[in-house]
Structure 1
Amino acid sequence: MSSNDRPFIHVLFGTQTGNAEVIAMDAADALAADGFETKLMSMDEFDASDLEEMHHVVVVSSTYDDGNMPDNAQDLWDGLEADAPDLTSMRFAVLALGDSSYDHFCEAGRLFDVKFGELGAQRLLDRVDCDLDYESPSKQWVEVVKTTFASLGDADAPVETVAVEISPSSTVPARWTRQDPYLATVENRTVLSGDGSLKSVLHLEVDLGDSGIEYLPGDSLGLIPANPTPLVDGVLEALAVDPDTTFPGGEETWREELTHRRELRLPGNDLIEWAAAESGDVELVHLRDNGDREALESWLWGRDVLDLITMVPADKRSSADVAGLLGSLQHRSYSISSGPTESPKKADLLVSNVAYHRDGRDRVGAGSSTIGVDGAQQVSVFLAPNPSFRLPADDAPAIMVGPGVGVAPFRSFLLERRARGAKGKNWLFFGDQRESCDFLYRDELTEWQEQGLLANLSTAFSRDQEHKIYVQDRLREQGAEVFTWLQDGAHFYICGDGVSMSHAVEAALIEVIVKHGGLAEYAAWDYLADLKRQRRYSQDVY
């Protein structure tokens, strides 16, 4: 117990985009203000065995995609599974974040809640699951956490689990969902990539018609894709099944199920385990057993379900087994690049058309085959709100870092700020491979700079010179002005690649704060943490 007879509380977070981290910060701050001693920790800062020494724990965990652990939580989860530490001296509460458009809503938080209980820990509060509109429910949860931990008394005495009642959000339920999407019309497709580009990027205009969909800058449009016919045919042939027979456990035919309901582009963990076990492939078995997720993801890059099935000898390919290993076909989300004030019934999208040749097969992404160059004129869509990625107040400056198709939401930001007559300054960092063919929205952006809507437009084209230059390099080069903007209240946004780019930009920002703020590195991280607490640092990464 701490000196004021209130328990010392570890606040642990598993996060992918930073939302769970911010809520964990809020929880730690609220507990500290109420007299508790706390320690805020990312889940990659300790091992599963360390949990045995944590007696009062608050967990905030997001879920990545459809039921996956966030990157910084995977090692901890693997340790819990492998080592089964004794948690009988722990009391805990879990807040789970998720997206209800996925089948496995809040799965990571649910798994931690169940596992802690299985390992002997005492659950103080029933788990609370939060959808995308998490601000109000999470604040209510923090208040219950404070009162519950404050009333513990004897640290060893068992207590009854508290049921948490959360007042419903005032947000109106969505009319259109992944389960019941709106059939919209693609009115226009424009190829933005120029001659010589190694990419194919499209600007699409989607007519929202009478859907009643009302989006805000920062929101995305969810697309219900269909798997490309050649991929479906390949899987059917590899499993030697009649496409018109009924899919195991369902009512649809194999062809219908594989085309519209099963994920064929992105192999799931269960299928990977099966392929490794049945094929005996030395490389895949090593990657599976080594636990190096980055190496496994690198190996999987460009491979699909058919690749893994055909690794297994034909006499070991049970169609019934494979049917049970295929996950649900996931929607694809595309940031809306239009402004709602100027275009309330139209959603512009920026789409990278995924098409390549590998191992004797032409391949195309499920989203690209549905909405790309040769895609359908009508597509099934729903609104995917992003409440944590919103415009600042009209008088606040905004720094936006969006290389490649990550520029999409910032076009929406700029269009909306222009429509509202917002006085806050805008600074965009954009990057891609070559200026001549990859400068997306070049004419608009340069015009907005000339008109003053963009106070600064900083570009980085990595292949236009011998030494590659990226947006994080431009951030460092203009660090003095960047720090001045932050001191003047600027909000900082990142959109795009969450594997390397976002981390490189964050590292560059820390360097800027150290150098131009005259701070030690630990103080620079505290400065960044304060930006997150103030909702002035936001990421939309994938």
Structure 2
Amino acid sequence: MELQVTNSPFNQEQAELLNRVLPTLSPVQRIWLSGYLTALQGAVAPAAPADAAPQTALPEVASISKEVTVLFGSQTGNSSGLAKKTAKLLEDRGFQATVSSMGDFKPNTLKKLQNLLIIVSTHGEGEPPDNAIAFHEFLHSKRAPQLEELRYSVLALGDTSYEFFCQTGKDFDKRLEELGAKRIVPRVDCDVDFDEPAAEWMNQVVQELGQASASTVTPVSAGSADGSGTETEYSRTHPFHAEVLENLNLNGRGSDRETRHIELSLEGSNLQYEAGDSLGIYPENDPRLVDELIDAMGWEPEESVALKNGDALALRDALLRHYEITVLTKPLLEQAAQLVPDSGISKLLEPGHEQDLRSYIEGRDLLDLVQDYSLKGIPASAFTGILRKIPARLYSIASSPKAFPDEVHLTVRTVRYESQGRNRYGVCSVQLAERTQPGDQLPVYVQHNPSFKLPENPDAPVIMIGPGTGVAPFRAFLGEREETGAAGKTWLFYGDQHFSTDFLYQVEWQRWLKEGVLTRMDVAFSRDTDQKIYVQHRMLEKSSELYQWLQEGAYIYVCGDEKKMAHDVHAALGTILEQEGGLSPEQASEYMIRMQQEKRYQRDVY
């Protein structure tokens, strides 16, 4: 709608200026401008004349509580970090914000809340993260109360490469509405590059709460979710370029696997981490795939393309370092179908073809899409406009900061496989294996994970289950316990394919066993026996001792593959509770949920 002198309080010159500026503003800029004008109005409002009629009071608005509860459900720490930033933003605006993990929140207090913000990720195939399971189940049970007095909003984190994108956030949003709660602002669903939409959501929430409680709001910029306007330390949006100190293959000669031990220097970064945290690396795409894609599309490598932030890069550099080209998602196919309506892609997206879409996306990349649907000829500027930014890769940290000050160690298995007649390469793992040497630098940041931490009590027993690269954080745990002199018993279950070639960090485990830092260790090498033996089988073999450790208050940690291993380990744990504790399946399930709530059962699975 265009401003006119006749339909606004502005003169001709003001209306023309506003009509030129307003259409160019981004959503964030409009929100900021709205908050600025609100603040300005409060600062310069003239005093009312003595004979002016009294304004009508708004008791309903004035009674809106300034107390806000921020609940987060997080598997890797992103939701936790955003919850803290949201709370700080609210407190800076005069609200009283309470932040809590869903696992620590008492559901029976839900009825007492007036303002609730939910920040939650989706794990696996549309499932809640571990610390959100109990609250999710409560809210969807018959025990959930009616919440007509509650105002809420949901920020959902996810990844569009998964079929059930942001499903947990959608579940919470829908269920709260069913229970009678009213939205403060609509739910926002974030892809892996969540910084800007998350900041917009925060701004909108604070703006609406500020209007309801008659307070002044100055929005936070999209580039700095903590409201400071600048980023003064290295972070996810401002990575540190860490020097590679060491890059070794941990597997022996003849192994079918290649696992890299990477040591990086954090000197000068002021980056702090704890055992149990992860390190994010922003990788580069394989030059072989980039060159094949450019050739298939008939593009010029040095052609300039504009990024979404306004910067420009040569096309080859942009495809190497900025855009994701190895993963297909439904939103990407939808945009490609709009670019080339007669390509046939739209048939995959039609109702009833969901299984065809799943089958096509699995194991294919952007080059497959280009070749399969003859997309050659689309200008590079148009095509790169539908690509998302390449996401960081997270790796569990394999070192204790007390044992290795100013260093961080990683354990990374190299991914190579054949699919659809072409060799495929793990983006970051093959970069580390083939194109990274000591002296090179990698852009990194620390991803704190408060949901995967050693017990505060150093005397508490610890059981660690980590086959393959899942053993990485347990190298950090034991290094930490050695440095702090913790007295608690430790038990490690480790597995891989072959004892002779795939026993990662074998010498270190043996030293820790000898010195008593590691109390006991059970191993499972699946290809060394006629019948494949995995870590869950070793758990069941030691069920009596394992149950005794649980009775003594042991903490259980699981790290590694989520799709199979973590489910098998969870099932084995349930079986042990039933056999040794005499529990029913329902009681065993309740026991494990209680352990999760008490932080005695923690998982870092992917």
Q: How many angstroms apart in 1 are the aligned matches of 2:78 and 2:584? A: 26
Q: How many angstroms apart in 2 are the aligned matches of 1:14 and 1:465? A: 41
TM-score, normalised on structure 1?
A: 0.73
Instruction: Report what 1:23 is aligned to.
Output: 101
> Structure 2 vs 1, CA of residues 164 and 397 (structure 1 numbering), >3 Å: closer, same or farther?
farther
Q: Secondary structure at the match of 1:212?
A: coil
Instruction: Report what 1:203 is aligned to.
Output: 261
RMSD over aligned CA atoms reads: 4.7
- Is this contact kept in 1: 2:161–2:329, CA < 8 A? no
Please state if 1:191 is matched with 2:249. yes
Residue 412 of structure 1: how far off its partner (Å): 0.5
Instruction: Report what 1:5 is aligned to.
Output: none
Instruction: Report what 1:74 is aligned to.
Output: 167
Instruction: Report what 1:423 is aligned to.
Output: 487
Residue 275 of structure 1: how far off its partner (Å): 6.0
Q: How many angstroms apart in 1 are the aligned matches of 2:550 and 2:443? A: 41
Instruction: Report what 1:474 is aligned to.
Output: 538
Residue 448 of structure 1: how far off its partner (Å): 1.9
Within the candidate set 91, 114, 122, 2:182 is matched to 91
Q: How many angstroms apart in 1 are the aligned matches of 2:361 and 2:242? A: 33
Residue 66 of structure 1: how far off its partner (Å): 4.9
Instruction: Report what 1:368 is aligned to.
Output: 429
Instruction: Report what 2:305 is aligned to.
Output: 247
TM-score, normalised on structure 2?
A: 0.66
Residue 522 of structure 1: how far off its partner (Å): 1.6
Q: Which has the larger radius of gyration?
A: 2
After TM superposition, the structure 1 stretch with the greater mean CA deviation from structure 2, 87-96 or 424-433, is 87-96
After TM superposition, the structure 1 stretch with the greater mean CA deviation from structure 2, 261-270 or 87-96, is 87-96
Which string of whole-angstrom CA distances, capped at 9 and with x for unpartnered residues, describes residues 448-479 of structure 1? 22332222212122222232222122222222
Q: How many angstroms apart in 1 are the aligned matches of 2:548 and 2:214? A: 47
Q: How many angstroms apart in 2 are the aligned matches of 1:419 and 1:441? A: 18
Q: Secondary structure at the match of 1:26?
A: coil
- Is this contact kept in 2: 1:68–1:107, CA < 8 A? no
Please state if 1:380 is matched with 2:443. yes
**Correspondences of 1:11-410 after superposition (within 5 Å):** 23-31=101-109, 42=136, 66=159, 74=167, 77=170, 89-91=180-182, 103-105=193-195, 175-248=233-306, 250-274=311-335, 279-280=343-344, 289-291=352-354, 300-314=361-375, 317=378, 319-359=380-420, 361-376=422-437, 377-392=440-455, 393-410=457-474
Q: Secondary structure at the match of 1:349?
A: strand
Residue 212 of structure 1: how far off its partner (Å): 2.1
- Is this contact kept in 1: 2:154–2:187, CA < 8 A? yes
- Quick one: percent identity of the two aligned structures? 34
- Is this contact kept in 1: 2:153–2:183, CA < 8 A? no
Please state if 1:448 is matched with 2:512. yes
Q: How many angstroms apart in 2 are the aligned matches of 1:239 and 1:344? A: 48
Residue 441 of structure 1: how far off its partner (Å): 0.9
After TM superposition, the structure 1 stretch with the greater mean CA deviation from structure 2, 18-27 or 342-351, is 18-27
Instruction: Report what 2:551 is aligned to.
Output: 487
Unaligned runs of at least 5 residues, structure 2: 1-69, 81-99, 115-132, 218-225
Matched pairs, number: 478
Q: How many angstroms apart in 2 are the aligned matches of 1:358 and 1:64? A: 30
Q: How many angstroms apart in 1 are the aligned matches of 2:163 and 2:374? A: 34
Q: How many angstroms apart in 1 are the aligned matches of 2:535 and 2:359? A: 23
- Is this contact kept in 2: 1:261–1:329, CA < 8 A? yes
Instruction: Report what 2:6 is aligned to.
Output: none
Instruction: Report what 2:38 is aligned to.
Output: none
The one-letter code of the counterpart of 1:91 is K
- Is this contact kept in 2: 1:185–1:206, CA < 8 A? yes
Residue 259 of structure 1: how far off its partner (Å): 1.3
Within the candidate set 496, 500, 520, 2:560 is matched to 496
Residue 239 of structure 1: how far off its partner (Å): 2.3
Unaligned runs of at least 5 residues, structure 1: 1-10, 115-122, 128-158
The one-letter code of the counterpart of 1:310 is Q
Which string of whole-angstrom CA distances, capped at 9 and with x for unpartnered residues, describes residues 85-139 of structure 1? 9969543689999999x5214979999xx9xxxxxxxx99979xxxxxxxxxxxx
Residue 19 of structure 1: how far off its partner (Å): 10
The one-letter code of the counterpart of 1:268 is T
